[in-house]
Structure formats: structure tokens, C-alpha cells
Amino acid sequence: MVPRRDGAETIAVTILGGYLGSGKTTRINTLLAEHAQEARIAVVVNDFGAVNIDADLVKARSGDMLELSNGCICCSLADGMAAVMERLAALDPCPAHVVMEVSGVGNPGEVARWAGLPGFRRNAVVVCADAETIEERASDRWVADTVRTQLASADLLLLTKTDLVGHDELAQVRAWLESTVPGVPVHDDLRTLDALLVDPLNAPTSRAGTRSPSGQHDEHVSWAITSSDPVDADRVLDYVRSLPDHVVRAKGVLRTWQQPDRRTVVQRVGRRWEAHDDGPWQAGDTTRLVVISPAASGLPEELPGLNEVFAS
């Protein structure tokens, strides 16, 4: 989470979209059942009935909100988005992340606007694409506009149901997505959503690639670096922008040459990146940058350029 200047904490919002049957609810079920307690997650869904929550996991129920024993919260949209957002903002302790599941015929880009409310910040729009049917649906006379609008709204595309297609067909679908929505990273690792919810600044500090310590994201690797000296903001931003498409997450807190008395937060999720002033630099703060990528991406143990970008 990123502290607001008034000392409160903003809540990261990840939007999960995709056409009917693309696997959104399966990802939500897995998230609620398996996510580690180090991240307090709130999941907003259209209907509790579609989410298979083990009764033993339910700690308490209040109206359209479930509190789970693993620290997660599950909310229904029965009263509308505005009411849900107000309830989430008022929780104490507040969630670290909110994951919003969009209706299978909804526009994730429109729902993402709710992340602009005070106290919240947009993390990413993740759109699920069924590897077996996405091309067919994207050309269907009745649903093509809906499907293509969903794809175009994505910061990151998550290929699902890959076990239903062969290797060559999967490669073809990936190529089709990359040409249909240029610049949007395409992933087929179903733990990518979990990795997006990890605050990488809580990862261990190392100059080499390392397995994530949580045990929940062992298909991803992370790289981290710190510095006791101010860094060049332009150099770090150029580096973050130039990271390969398969990088899932990058986040840094910087003390820069340009503004040594200010705290600059820079982050990238999928194709989106941003940098913003986060208030005065505090005694004890450390300049640091963390990058997370799927293990299968083939990036070397020493991430190219990482040390150089922090060089004085």
C-alpha cells in the first residue's frame, strides 16, 4: 500500500474482467481459498452463490460481506458499487487490496474508474481470455464488440483454459492477442493474479533473482536492489518503462537527485506505469526497487541493467 499524505493508506484496486466462461470465478475461488495471510484481500463479486467458499473458511457474515479466517473479505454487489466502496474504505483494519470481478458482459475499463475514489488507487485491469474460444468470440456478430472492448481495456491479459488446446494452438492464440491488442502483456501462468497482489517492497532485498518467500508464488522470481544514495529519477523511470512485457510487477520508493527531500513512488503493472510524489522523505526510508516476473520468462539470475540504474 502507498501512504497518503494525511497518513492514511490507499487501497490498491485490481479489476478482473473477461467474457462469460473465461475463468474469472475460478481465479476468485482460488484466491480466497489459498491466498496467504500476509496480504489482506477484499474481493468484490457479483454473486456470492457463484463463489465456492469452504464453510470452514467463513469466520463471520454480515449482510453481503463475508470475513474469512485467512484474513480475506468477500463482498457482494447487491447494494451497488458505491455502497461497497464506502464499506471497504471504512473497514478497520482496511484491506491492502481490493479485487473487483466484473460481469462477463461488463466493461472492465468502466469499472476501473471506481479505483479513482479517495482512499483507493488503481493497480491493474486483468482480463481473462479463454484460449479455446477467444478468437471465435472476438469475431462473433453478436458478442465481438463486447469481447474486443474488454480486451482493449486490459493492462494485462491472462490466458485461461490452456489445457484445452495444444501447444501450437496456444502459441497461435497468444500471437493473435499480441497483434489484436498491441503492447498488452499476455500471460498464461494462472498465479499471475496472485503475484500482482504482492507488495514487492515487502520482498527480500537481493541483487539476484530469488524465489518469492511466500510459497504462494513459487512460479515467479523477484529481483530487488537498495541504495543509501539518491538516484537519477529519469534513469530509473526509463528503466522501468523498458522492462520486458512479461514482467508482472515493478515498484520502487526513490530518493532522487532531482528532489532529494521528497519521496517518489514509481511502479509498473502490466503495460501501465506511473510515478508520483508521495510526500517528504522520512528518516529511515531506503531507496529501493523490486521487479517480479514469471520464472518461465527466462530472465537471467542477474537482471540486466538493475545494478547500473542505481549507480551513483
Q: Which amino acid is at 71?
A: G
Any idea where the domains of the chain sit in the sequence? 11-194, 200-309
> Are residues 231 and 254 in contact, defined by beta-carbon separation less than 8 angstroms?
yes
- What pTM was estimated for this model as a whole? 0.78
SS3 of 206, please? coil
Would you give per-residue pLDDT tens digits along the chain (312 residues)? 444 434 456 888 999 999 988 988 888 888 877 764 456 888 888 766 666 666 666 667 776 776 776 677 778 776 788 888 988 888 888 888 899 989 888 999 999 999 999 989 898 999 999 999 999 999 998 999 999 999 999 999 999 999 999 999 999 999 999 999 998 999 988 778 877 877 666 554 433 333 333 333 446 788 888 888 899 999 999 999 998 877 878 888 899 999 999 999 898 887 778 888 888 998 888 899 988 887 766 677 778 888 888 875
11-194 CATH choice from 3.40.50.300, 2.40.50.180, 3.40.190.10, 2.60.40.3880: 3.40.50.300
pLDDT digits (tens, 9 = 90+) for 107-161: 999 999 999 999 898 989 999 999 999 999 999 989 999 999 999 999 999 999 9
Best CATH choice for the domain 200-309 from the list 3.40.50.300, 3.40.1080.10, 3.30.70.1520, 3.30.1220.10: 3.30.1220.10
- Within 158-279, where are the H helices? 167-180, 192-196, 233-242
What is the number of residues in the chain? Answer: 312
Q: What is the CA radius of gyration of the chain?
A: 19
Residue 224, all three cell numbers: 530487488
Condensed to tens digits (0 to 9), the pLDDT of residues 18-43 reads 998 898 888 888 887 776 445 688 88
Sheet with 210-211: strands ordered across: 210-211, 220-227, 287-294, 249-254, 262-269, 272-280
Could you say which DSSP state residue 52 is in? -
User: According to the model, what pLDDT value does residue 133 have?
Assistant: 94
Residue pair 267/273 in contact (Cβ under 8 Å)? The answer is: yes
Q: What is the pLDDT of residue 5?
A: 37
